[in-house]
């Protein structure tokens, strides 16, 4: 986000204050620029001395399209004009832009060189983009299910006047109010902190980077798109940069799946340890030894969230506000 937010955030404020542009209009504009980038990518495969120039122009247009794509959700939240249709429009147009640009870029290079590797790369880019969205949407569904289980256990404990268990559930819900979302990589409040600040040096560095919108994880969909459609054309190295970006994204998704697996296993074990809620036996209170383990499991699951600003986990317009 280092090359996007410094441009997108001031533009969002200016747009909200001085224009009547709606978030959906911004989404449409992002699509138009994305299609323009695709046309340039296709022209870059025509051969001749101007081929690289077309790729550079396509990369520039894609970057501005990406800036607009990061603006629509921010503008919707800032002006209170968001809508469910806007979320759908943003999601569909993102997929259309990536599909068209991938076909144009790789197809153009295939037409120029005749090397089938570009056809395989086009398929790989589209597949990885869909994979990360399916992964993120399913992870969000699981996080929501975990939260619903906590709420159900809390309600049950209150009905049975089981104060220790109720207090424990309330503590978890306070520490993880949404059980995911934009908290990827953050230290949960109340653990590893001193005076509301992370106690460790690594935690303080992480918090500083996140305040400046610099991602601290490996690579997600945002970095993947920038690698394939901006860095690769600018560098004139479409094949190696695309392969590297795809491999890093796939590695990141595997890490997400592993963390989610560990978190769900830990969550199920801890929930089962609460018993049926019959009230028999002492419940695990807020100060019991079970709290850190349960917190660690939820923290690991939270870290599995991906693409907060790209809207993968919580909806295209549910990213961090301006």
- Per-residue pLDDT tens digits for 164-185: 878 877 776 765 554 433 333 3
pLDDT of residue 259: 87
Q: What percent of the chain has pLDDT over 90?
A: 39
Other beta carbons less than 10 A from residue 104's beta carbon: 23
pLDDT of residue 47: 66
- Beta bridge pairs of residue 193: 198
pLDDT of residue 185: 37
| Average pLDDT of the residues of the chain | 77
In contact, 274 and 282? CB cutoff 8 Å: no
pLDDT of residue 65: 95
* 228-267 confidence digits (pLDDT tens): 999 999 999 999 999 999 999 999 999 888 988 888 887 7
Q: Kindly tell me if the per-residue pLDDT of 219 is higher than 90.
A: no
Q: Kindly tell me if the per-residue pLDDT of 227 is higher than 70.
A: yes
Reported confidence tier of residue 311, pLDDT bands at 50, 70, 90: very low
Q: Kindly tell me if the per-residue pLDDT of 292 is higher than 80.
A: no
- Beta bridge pairs of residue 198: 193
Ranges 45-54, 208-217, 308-317, most confident = 45-54
Q: Kindly tell me if the per-residue pLDDT of 277 is higher than 50.
A: no
Q: Which of 48-62, 110-124, 224-238 has the lowest mean pLDDT?
A: 48-62
Q: What is the 3-state secondary structure (H, E, C) of the chain?
A: CCCCHHHHHHHHHHHHHHCCCCHHHHHHHHHHHHHHHHHHHHHCCCCCCCHHHHHHHHHHHHHHHHHHHHHHHHHHHHHCCCCHHHHHHHHHHHHHHHHHHHHHHHHHHHHHHCCCHHHHHHHHHHHHHHHHHHHHHHHHHHHHHHHHHHHHHHHHHHHCCCHHHHHHHHHHHHHCCCCCCCCCCCCCCCCCEECCEECCHHHHHHHHHHHCCCCCCCCCHHHHHHHHHHHHHHHCCHHHHHHHHHHHHHHHHHHHHHHHHHHHHHHHHHHHHCCCCCCCCCCCCCCCCHHHHHHHHHHHHHHCCCCCCCCCCCCCCCCCCC
């Amino acid at each position: 986000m280092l090359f996007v937010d410094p441009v997108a955030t001031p533009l969002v404020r200016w747009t909200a204050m001085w224009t009547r542009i709606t978030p959906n209009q911004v989404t449409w504009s992002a699509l138009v620029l994305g299609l323009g980038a695709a046309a340039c990518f296709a022209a870059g495969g025509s051969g001749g001395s101007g081929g690289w120039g077309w790729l550079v122009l396509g990369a520039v247009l894609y970057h501005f399209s990406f800036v607009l794509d990061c603006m629509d959700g921010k503008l919707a939240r800032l002006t209170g004009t968001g809508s469910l249709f806007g979320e759908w429009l943003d999601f569909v147009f993102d997929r259309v832009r990536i599909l068209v640009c991938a076909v144009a870029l790789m197809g153009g290079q295939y037409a120029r060189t005749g090397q089938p590797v570009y056809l395989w790369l086009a398929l790989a880019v589209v597949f990885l983009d869909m994979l990360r969205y399916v992964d993120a949407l399913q992870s969000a569904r699981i996080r929501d299910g975990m939260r619903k289980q906590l709420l159900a256990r809390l309600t049950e404990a209150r009905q049975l006047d089981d104060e220790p268990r109720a207090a424990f559930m309330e503590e978890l819900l306070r520490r993880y109010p949404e059980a995911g979302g934009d908290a990827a990589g953050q230290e949960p409040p109340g653990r590893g902190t001193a005076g509301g600040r992370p106690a460790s040096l690594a935690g303080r560095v992480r918090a500083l980077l996140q305040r400046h919108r610099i991602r601290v994880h490996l690579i997600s969909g945002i970095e993947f798109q920038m690698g394939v459609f901006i860095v690769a054309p600018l560098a004139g190295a479409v094949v190696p940069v695309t392969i590297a970006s795809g491999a890093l994204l796939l590695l990141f998704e595997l890490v997400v799946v592993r963390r989610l697996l560990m978190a769900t296993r830990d969550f199920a074990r801890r929930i089962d340890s609460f018993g049926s809620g019959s009230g028999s036996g002492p419940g695990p209170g807020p100060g019991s030894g079970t709290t850190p383990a349960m917190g660690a499991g939820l923290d690991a699951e939270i870290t599995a969230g991906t693409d907060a600003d790209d809207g993968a986990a919580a909806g295209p317009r549910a990213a961090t506000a301006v």
